[in-house]
């Protein structure tokens, strides 16, 4: 459903994305791994429309999204979590979500809402529930743990009901326990909502345990792709990334 073909993006002399071709099946959960500077974040920036590729194509359900604005790409169904929950420290979880849903309903009603029947309140409650924050709906976002703030970021990305959810290092900066709590919620969300989830992750224990499918980037190129077992035992991956 998401098909990337021969994607290239350079910064000066650096080919941050170098002829990347890969496909994400509808409803799949995929981890992207690779050393620092491998081009993982650049790849997400291309998919979400933040960067425009030098060449190559990105097709969502058969239609090219290259050159479309970020807003249009989000409306087509590619969602991405940003670190935004903490921008509204004095709003509760519920207030943050209500603000986001109202803002998007405003947009949606002009452009054809994808959820015309859902009321703002029930849609906000649904998004909060999907990430497991219902019990904390009255907590100020400033008072949430780092992990819960990340879950709120993800809930905000769910407001427009993405087909594809991109998460760039969702567990970064967390202790081991909180990492697992957040990634388990992501896995649950994927299982229950049938959305396509692609996440960038450094913690190999998490990657090998959670992701049925893994893609390895190195120097902007696809070094390997496969199951945890295939990636674990791939000599090129061991040499470039996993070590011996």
Q: Using CA atoms, how far apart are residues 39 and 34, in angstroms rounded to an integer?
A: 8
36, 63, 90, 244: which one contacts ligand ADP (CB under 6 A)?
36
Segment near Mg ion (CB under 5 A); pick from 36-44, 86-94, 107-115, 179-187: 36-44
Q: Which is nearer to ligand ADP, 40 or 126 (CB)?
A: 40
Segment near ligand ADP (CB under 6 A); pick from 29-37, 70-78, 81-89, 144-152: 29-37
Binding flag, residue 38, ligand ADP (CB under 6 A) = yes
* Pairing, β 78-80 against β 14-24: unpaired
C-alpha distances (whole Å) from 114 to each of 64, 74, 78, 104, 109 are 20, 12, 14, 10, 9
Q: How far apart are the first and last CA of the chain?
A: 36
Binding flag, residue 34, ligand ADP (CB under 6 A) = yes
The answer to whether 192 touches 130, Cβ cutoff 8 Å, is yes
3, 8, 22, 37: which one contacts ligand ADP (CB under 6 A)?
37
Binding flag, residue 37, Mg ion (CB under 5 A) = no
168-207 burial, b for 16+ CB within 10 Å, e for fewer?
A: bbbbeebeeebbbbbbebbbebbeeeebbbbbbbebbebb
Q: Which is nearer to ligand ADP, 11 or 209 (CB)?
A: 11
Count residues near ligand ADP (CB under 6 A).
11
18, 24, 33, 42: which one contacts ligand ADP (CB under 6 A)?
42
10, 41, 86, 139: which one contacts Mg ion (CB under 5 A)?
41
Q: Is 244 exposed, middle or buried (0-12, 13-18, 19+ CB in 10 A)?
A: exposed
Q: How far is the CB of 11 from Mg ion (least distance, A)?
A: 14
Segment near ligand ADP (CB under 6 A); pick from 33-41, 82-90, 182-190, 221-229: 33-41
Binding flag, residue 145, Mg ion (CB under 5 A) = no
Closest CA to 164 of 192, 136, 198, 130: 198
Binding flag, residue 10, ligand ADP (CB under 6 A) = no
Q: Is 8 exposed, middle or buried (0-12, 13-18, 19+ CB in 10 A)?
A: middle
Instruction: List contacts with ligand ADP (CB under 6 A).
Output: 11, 14, 16, 34, 36-42
């Amino acid at each position: 459903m998401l098909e990337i073909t021969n994607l290239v993006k350079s910064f000066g002399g650096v080919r941050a994305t170098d002829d990347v071709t890969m496909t994400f099946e509808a409803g799949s959960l995929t981890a992207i791994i690779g050393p620092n500077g491998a081009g993982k974040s650049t790849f997400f920036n291309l998919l979400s429309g933040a960067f425009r590729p030098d060449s190559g194509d990105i097709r969502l359900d058969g239609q090219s999204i290259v050159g479309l604005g970020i807003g249009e790409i989000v409306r087509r169904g590619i969602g991405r979590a940003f670190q935004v929950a903490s921008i509204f420290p004095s709003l509760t979880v519920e207030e943050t979500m209500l603000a986001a849903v109202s803002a998007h309903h405003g947009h949606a009603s002009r452009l054809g809402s994808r959820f015309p029947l859902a009321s703002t309140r029930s849609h906000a409650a649904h998004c909060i529930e999907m990430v497991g924050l219902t019990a904390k709906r009255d907590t100020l976002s400033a008072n949430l743990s780092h992990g819960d703030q990340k879950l709120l970021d993800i809930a905000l990305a769910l407001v427009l009901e993405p087909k594809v959810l991109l998460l760039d290092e969702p567990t970064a900066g967390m202790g081991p326990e909180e990492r697992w709590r957040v990634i388990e919620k992501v896995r649950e969300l994927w299982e229950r909502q049938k959305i396509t989830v692609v996440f960038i992750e450094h913690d190999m224990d998490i990657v090998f345990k959670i992701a049925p499918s893994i893609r390895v980037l190195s120097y902007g190129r696809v070094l390997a792709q496969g199951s945890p077992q295939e990636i674990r035992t791939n000599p090129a991956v061991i040499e470039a990334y996993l070590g011996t």
